[in-house]
Chain A
């Protein structure tokens, strides 16, 4: 029998103070990110903010600086550039254009053609989102998050006793907030596909938590006389290898997506990877300590 992790005796719950501080900070940053998104101050993708983005693939290498100059000279405001030098691609995003849709992308390609007459390009993709659609997509995303949260909450409430439900819910929220916090801190774009990733994380987050909780419940029934904290610690240690390996296989596929899945879903894969890692951490360091705290607070809570 090959084992990655043999029998361990780590005092996970003893380290809960550090875990709470660490997780608390990330959760707060996550909340700040949500507030900023609501105020339109975060780096919103054009699907939420409205605007135009075009991706061009050139025949010869282009200098990003030159592209920037061409657009600035052409009077384009509030744009950002990204390039994939290995594939001679550049991505131009212009947010919240007041222009009629169709005009902005024409203007951008016009300026580029004028600046680089000798360097032919093809338009890989054009995305133009009017403000009305942006608003609708934002509302839809908010609704989706609310619905998914509600759905998971209801399921957790049905399947777990109250104290475990609290732990599972907090761990799920924590995972989503922490991933959002990392994206916010990295200045990555907040767009529809990130919301998709966050919801997927919310759905997946429970996987490890369930593994840990099932064992804790089982052991609490068996070892009635031992202190709760000791039973919990023992349970986490018992299922440690399982918790990690379950995440590991999904992590493999996440990494494969990140490295080979292409530029379009790069950030999506990154979010999934972060979500899996944070989810595993939280099932050990967040979910169980929360249950313990809840139990301590009301020692006579009915079982």
Chain B
């Protein structure tokens, strides 16, 4: 055997061993390997995409504008307090993202601009109009996206999903992938809930409170709000409490007049857990405040004995009990006809904290586990049948040479799986399609060479000369046809999402490996045959 042929076979052998080592974790064999192997050798292998193992792929948008709006509102409130404290008479109003203060005076301007350098003046005529500086607005959007990511990660951790992927995309989008999840709807609810917990006083003293109907059917809320729009005191608002009739299961909404001012929010929470009510055997969520929260809660309850305190979550009243006495110790309960899962989920979101701004779902791709399993089966079948068709055709058409091409094809599949495993690539259904196509394309190179060799043989060359010149002349043809496929695969990798990316990965790896197996693998076998003695007839 010639030396350089030997080296080529060693090279091929090494790549096969490497491929096997990398692919081993995907085979049942891996669990029987000794401990030192499991600890030191690759243990990840190829992961299945969400479309094959089932799961959800979600994209949420953090409504950063809303966070900017909320901050503006908060600042308007503090400016009002600041001016009152400094005894400067001025009217503070907020219109969308704009803050107006009238009348304009040097005192007002100085007071505001000293305390709030983050405000930029928009108008400085008879009244002062401010908005948050662009830099500050962007900072708020940025941090709200970051916080939302943290909070969502927290919630998912507590919900208990194995190997979730949660990351930011662009400025304000969050991508959540939960493989193998059984109850996608619940997960979506948990992620999407803002969970802004607020405590507000019920305004029973305003005359309009008595005019409110006791219960509405769901869907009638907007009409009611429109009807009472002009009649409410300036710092009051109407929110709704959902109630369910214990006997009939009928849902109704009760309007409640509340003071707009938020006395306390959920960010002072330290614990939220589910308890079961002894009387009705219904779950509720008990919350515990931290020291500052406990003190605040005590002060609030002390100042408002005999008034009703509403517990508001994301704009819905959960309950509005009458404060019987000052409550010390920092414990409170949220009740409201929960199912056990609802109560558990509420406890999770309260513990993980509120989202800094609401999130909106932009995309939801859910694949059930049974469809995933079906797809794997179908994919396997397509790979096997496609490979058999190609293998049989090659032997039928090119005889021994066809068998050599087939052995290169098997090598190709081995190396492809090994390469994917070494990259911890994700296999998707289009990815399987990519493998199937790569199998078809793999023999293309050999077909091109064999046809060329046949031609050289016809022209009267000896088998060895025919093989050599066949390879050389076919090389550029093979190269050209592979490169353009690689170009498109690279583009697909760049722009594709999930499944399509999987296709780009398998196709580009398949095509690259094919160059290796066709140009080194098959050629080596031919050289080996030719190196023994001059072959008189080539089976091609």
The interface of chain A, by Cβ under 8 A from chain B, is 1-2, 4, 55, 57, 100-102, 105, 122-130, 132-133, 137, 140-141, 143-144, 147-148, 151-152, 155-156, 159, 192-193, 196, 199-200, 202-207, 210-211, 214, 238-239, 241-242, 245-246, 248-257, 259-262, 264-265, 268-269, 272
Q: A124-B368, A125-B371, A260-B382 are in contact. Are A265 and B430 (CB under 8 A)?
A: yes
Whole-angstrom distance between the Cβ of A224 and the nearest chain B Cβ: 20
The residues of A that contact B345 with a CB separation of less than 8 Å are none
Chosen A-B contacts, 8 in total, with CB atoms closer than 8 Å, are: A1-B540, A123-B368, A127-B366, A196-B430, A200-B488, A210-B477, A262-B375, A262-B382
Main secondary structure of the interface of A (DSSP, over half): helix
The residues of A that contact B363 with a CB separation of less than 8 Å are 101, 128-130, 133
Closest to B367 in A: A125
Residue from B366, B381, B432 within 8 A of A125 (CB atoms): B366
Closest to B540 in A: A1
Residue from the set B361, B371, B393, B443 with the largest chain A CB neighbour count within 10 Å: B371
Q: Is A200 within 8 A of B371, CB to CB?
A: no
The residues of B that contact A144 with a CB separation of less than 8 Å are 491-492, 494-496
B244 within 8 A of A: no
Residue from A102, A141, A205, A210 within 8 A of B364 (CB atoms): A102
A-contact 0/1 string along B409-452, CB 8 Å cutoff: 00000000000000000000110110011011101100110010
Q: Is A246 within 8 A of B487, CB to CB?
A: no
Q: Is B389 within 8 A of A253, CB to CB?
A: yes
Residue from B184, B360, B396, B485 within 8 A of A204 (CB atoms): B485
The residues of B that contact A205 with a CB separation of less than 8 Å are 484
B157 within 8 A of A: no
The residues of B that contact A124 with a CB separation of less than 8 Å are 367-368, 370-371
Q: A124-B370, A261-B378, A265-B433 are in contact. Are A203 and B386 (CB under 8 A)?
A: no
Give A214 to B367 CA distance when docked, in angstroms.
47
Q: A101-B364, A242-B448 are in contact. Are A257 and B436 (CB under 8 A)?
A: yes
Q: Is A256 within 8 A of B385, CB to CB?
A: yes
Closest to B184 in A: A126
The residues of B that contact A140 with a CB separation of less than 8 Å are 495, 497
B454 within 8 A of A: yes
Whole-angstrom distance between the Cβ of B522 and the nearest chain A Cβ: 14
Whole-angstrom distance between the Cβ of B304 and the nearest chain A Cβ: 36
Whole-angstrom distance between the Cβ of A109 and the nearest chain B Cβ: 10
Whole-angstrom distance between the Cβ of B511 and the nearest chain A Cβ: 9
A-contact 0/1 string along B319-349, CB 8 Å cutoff: 0000000000000000000000000000000
Whole-angstrom distance between the Cβ of B384 and the nearest chain A Cβ: 9
Within 8 A of A (CB), among B502-538: 503, 507
Q: Is B436 within 8 A of A256, CB to CB?
A: yes
The residues of A that contact B146 with a CB separation of less than 8 Å are none
Number of A-B contacts (CB under 8 A): 218
Q: Is A127 within 8 A of B385, CB to CB?
A: no
Q: Is A246 within 8 A of B447, CB to CB?
A: yes
The residues of B that contact A122 with a CB separation of less than 8 Å are 368, 370
Closest to B451 in A: A242
Give A155 to B491 CA distance when docked, in angstroms.
14
Closest to B454 in A: A1
Give A192 to B495 CA distance when docked, in angstroms.
11
Main secondary structure of the interface of B (DSSP, over half): helix
Closest to B170 in A: A136
The residues of A that contact B481 with a CB separation of less than 8 Å are 204, 206-207, 210-211
B59 within 8 A of A: yes
Give A251 to B451 CA distance when docked, in angstroms.
18
Q: Is A245 within 8 A of B397, CB to CB?
A: yes
Whole-angstrom distance between the Cβ of B171 and the nearest chain A Cβ: 13
Q: Is B429 within 8 A of A265, CB to CB?
A: yes
The residues of A that contact B447 with a CB separation of less than 8 Å are 242, 245-246, 249
Whole-angstrom distance between the Cβ of A121 and the nearest chain B Cβ: 11
Q: Is A133 within 8 A of B59, CB to CB?
A: yes
Q: Is A257 within 8 A of B448, CB to CB?
A: no
B61 within 8 A of A: yes
Q: Is B477 within 8 A of A211, CB to CB?
A: yes
Closest to A105 in B: B364
Residue from B61, B440, B477, B491 within 8 A of A132 (CB atoms): B61
Q: A141-B495, A203-B487 are in contact. Are A246 and B366 (CB under 8 A)?
A: no
Whole-angstrom distance between the Cβ of B408 and the nearest chain A Cβ: 13
A-contact 0/1 string along B466-489, CB 8 Å cutoff: 000000000011001101111111
B302 within 8 A of A: no
Closest to B192 in A: A102
Q: Is A155 within 8 A of B483, CB to CB?
A: yes
Q: A143-B495, A203-B489 are in contact. Are A262 and B429 (CB under 8 A)?
A: yes
B20 within 8 A of A: no
A-contact 0/1 string along B388-414, CB 8 Å cutoff: 011001101111000000000000000
Q: Is A155 within 8 A of B488, CB to CB?
A: no
Give A166 to B4 CA distance when docked, in angstroms.
42
